[in-house]
C-alpha cells in the first residue's frame, strides 16, 4: 500500500514509529530539526496540538521530494485547573514536579490530544484526535515507586500508558485508542488513503 | 510487591502474560487443562465471561499451594444482532466465517467483556470489565487483506486489536483500556492489593 510514495515520519518517538509500522506501510524516520513549540496565547487550547503539528511540517528542515509524504504529530495532555481552565500538563523537570503532576492526575479525568499534519508538495491536511483518560486514586507510595523506577521526565503528563502506571492507574478511557499511545493511526491511514487516492 | 505469594496465571495467551508483566510482579504461567466453555442458557450474556473465568478457576487441574494466588480470565466479544439480542461472536472456523464476522463488525460498535477470577485457598473474587469498541467502515478488500495476512482464526471476534486491523479500523473506544487487549490489569492489581492486604 502507498508503494509509489516515500513516506517520512518526522518524529523522534519510538512509540510513534511502532504505531505507524502497525499500518503495514514502508516509511523512513527523519526527526525535524526545528523543535520550537511556540504558539499564540489566543489560540484555543484544543487547537494547540494541531497547530504545532502543522508548524513542525511547515518548518521541516528541507524541501519534500516529488513523491514524498511528510507526517508530523504533537501530543499534549490537558487537565482542568481549579478555575475551570484547561491547562497543558507538560514534561516534568524533576521528581518533585513529576510527583506534583501525578498527584493532580490521580482520581481525575484528563484529556490527551494529538494533532497530526500530513503534507505532500501539493496538498496538506491536519486533524486532532482526542481521548479522555481517567485515573483511579494513586497513593504517594505508588507515585514515588513509578517516578523512581521509570523516571518519566521526557513524558507529557509525567506518565507513559504502556508503563507500570498505565497498567495500575487507568480505570477508563473514552476516545481514540492509539492516540493515547501517541499516534491516532486509524485517522492517519484514512487520511493517507484519501490524499493519495488509494 | 506481593513477594510472599506464588502468583499463577492460568492462561495460554501470550498477550495476557505480557499485560500481567506490566504490573511488575513475579508470576508463573500454567494454562488450565480443562478448556470446557459450557454455561447455562439462562445466564445473562454479560455474566458469561465472569462465569467462565470462575469455572476455569474452580476446575483448575491441581490444588493450590498455601501461598498461591490463581488468576483466570475469559474474554468474549458481543454484538447486537438484528433482533436486538446480544450475540457472542466466537472464533471463526475458516476465512469465510472470518469475513462474515468482520463485515458485521464494520461500521458498528461491539462490546468486549473480560471476566476475571482471582482465587487463593481461603478467598475468591471475580469481576467483569467491559469496553465498547467502534469500527469505522471496512472495504471487502481491507477485510480480505487482513484475513489472508493475519489468519485470525484463534481470535474471538476474528480480530486482534494489536494487529493491522486494530490500527486501521477502530475509530473509538469507551471503557477499560487493557481489557481490550485481553486483561483488565488495573482491576487485577487493585483486587490483588485488597485480597493480599498490601
Check: CB of residue B79 under 8 Å from CB of residue B86: yes
The answer to whether domain B6-196 has CATH 3.40.50.970 is: no
Q: Does B176 touch chain A (CB under 8 A)?
A: yes
d(CA B67, CA B195): 12
The pLDDT value recorded for residue A75 is 93
Contact A173 B174 (CB under 8 A): yes
Interface test with B, best of A27, A150, A166, A186 (most B CBs within 10 A): A186
- For β-strands A6-9 and B109-119, DSSP reports them as unpaired
d(CA A160, CA A148): 14
Contact A24 B162 (CB under 8 A): no
The pLDDT value recorded for residue A57 is 95
Residues recorded for chain B: 198
Q: Does B185 touch chain A (CB under 8 A)?
A: yes
Q: Between residues B124 and A181, which one has the greater pLDDT? A: B124
Check: CB of residue A18 under 8 Å from CB of residue A160: no
Check: CB of residue B191 under 8 Å from CB of residue B126: no
From chain B, pick out residues whose CB is under 8 angstroms from the CB of A176: 171-173
- Our CA-based measurement puts residue A167 at a distance from the nearest CA of chain B, in whole angstroms, of 5
- Output the CA angle A170-A19-A162, nearest 5 degrees: 25
The pLDDT value recorded for residue A41 is 85
- Which sequence positions of B are flagged as catalytic? 74
Contact B167 A190 (CB under 8 A): no
Contact A178 B167 (CB under 8 A): yes
Check: CB of residue B9 under 8 Å from CB of residue B30: yes
State the complex-level ipTM: 0.88
- For β-strands B28-29 and B6-9, DSSP reports them as parallel
Q: According to the 3-state scheme, what is the secondary structure of chain A?
A: CCCCCEEEECCCCHHHHHHHHCCCCCCEECCCCCCCCCCCCCCCHHHHHHHHHHHHHHCCCCCCCCCEEEEEEEEEEEEECCCCCEEEECCCCCHHHHHHHHHHHCCCEEEEEEEEEEECCCCEEEEEEEEEEEECCCCHHHHHHHHHHHCCCCCHHHCCCCCHHHHHHEEEEEECCHHHHCCCHHHHHHHHHHHHCC
Per-residue pLDDT of chain B (198 residues), as tens digits, is 899 999 999 999 999 999 999 999 999 999 988 767 788 889 999 999 999 999 999 999 999 999 999 999 999 999 999 999 999 999 999 999 999 999 999 999 999 999 999 999 999 999 999 999 999 999 999 999 999 999 999 898 999 999 999 999 999 999 998 998 899 999 999 999 999 987
The pLDDT value recorded for residue B122 is 93
Task: Name the residue facing B189 among A23, A163, A168 (closest C-beta).
Answer: A168
Mean pLDDT of chain A: 94
- Our CA-based measurement puts residue A169 at a distance from the nearest CA of chain B, in whole angstroms, of 6
Q: According to the 3-state scheme, what is the secondary structure of chain B?
A: CCCCCEEEECCCCHHHHHHHHCCCCCCEECCCCCCCCCCCCCCCHHHHHHHHHHHHHHCCCCCCCCCEEEEEEEEEEEEECCCCCEEEECCCCCHHHHHHHHHHHCCCEEEEEEEEEEECCCCEEEEEEEEEEEECCCCHHHHHHHHHHHCCCCCHHHCCCCCHHHHHHEEEEEECCHHHHCCCHHHHHHHHHHHHCC
Per the structure block, which three cell numbers stand in for A15? 512509540
Which A residues, 107 through 136, put their C-beta within 8 Å of a C-beta on chain B? 136
Residue A118 phi/psi, 5-degree rounding, is: -120, 120
- Give me the half-sphere count of Cα atoms (radius 13 Å) on the Cβ side of residue B18: 10
Chain A residue nearest residue B178, CA to CA: A167
Identified catalytic residue from A74, A94, A123, A132: A74
- The torsion defined by the Cα of A128, A133, A139 and A142, in degrees rounded to 10, comes to -70
Residues recorded for chain A: 198
Q: Does B193 touch chain A (CB under 8 A)?
A: no
Q: Does A165 touch chain B (CB under 8 A)?
A: no
Percent of chain A with pLDDT over 90: 87
The pLDDT value recorded for residue A40 is 87
Amino acid at each position: 500500500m502507498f508503494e509509489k510514495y516515500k513516506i517520512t515520519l518526522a518524529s523522534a518517538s519510538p512509540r510513534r514509529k511502532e504505531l505507524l509500522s502497525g499500518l503495514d506501510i514502508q516509511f523512513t524516520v527523519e526527526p525535524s530539526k526545528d523543535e520550537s513549540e511556540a504558539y499564540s496565547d489566543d489560540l484555543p487550547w484544543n487547537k494547540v496540538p494541531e497547530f504545532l503539528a502543522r508548524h513542525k511540517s511547515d518548518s521541516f528542515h528541507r524541501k519534500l521530494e516529488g513523491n514524498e509524504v511528510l507526517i508530523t504529530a504533537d501530543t499534549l495532555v490537558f487537565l482542568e485547573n481549579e478555575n475551570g481552565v484547561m491547562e497543558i500538563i507538560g514534561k516534568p523537570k524533576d521528581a518533585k514536579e513529576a510527583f506534583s503532576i501525578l498527584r493532580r492526575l490521580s482520581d481525575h479525568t484528563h484529556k490527551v490530544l494529538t494533532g497530526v499534519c500530513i503534507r505532500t508538495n501539493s496538498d496538506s491536511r491536519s486533524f486532532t484526535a482526542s481521548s479522555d483518560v481517567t485515573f483511579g486514586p494513586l497513593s504517594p507510595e505508588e507515585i514515588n515507586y513509578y517516578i523512581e523506577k521509570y523516571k518519566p521526565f521526557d513524558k507529557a503528563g509525567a506518565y507513559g500508558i504502556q508503563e507500570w502506571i498505565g497498567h495500575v492507574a487507568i480505570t477508563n478511557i473514552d476516545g481514540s485508542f492509539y492516540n493515547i499511545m501517541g499516534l491516532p493511526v486509524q485517522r492517519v491511514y484514512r487520511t493517507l488513503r484519501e490524499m493519495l487516492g488509494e
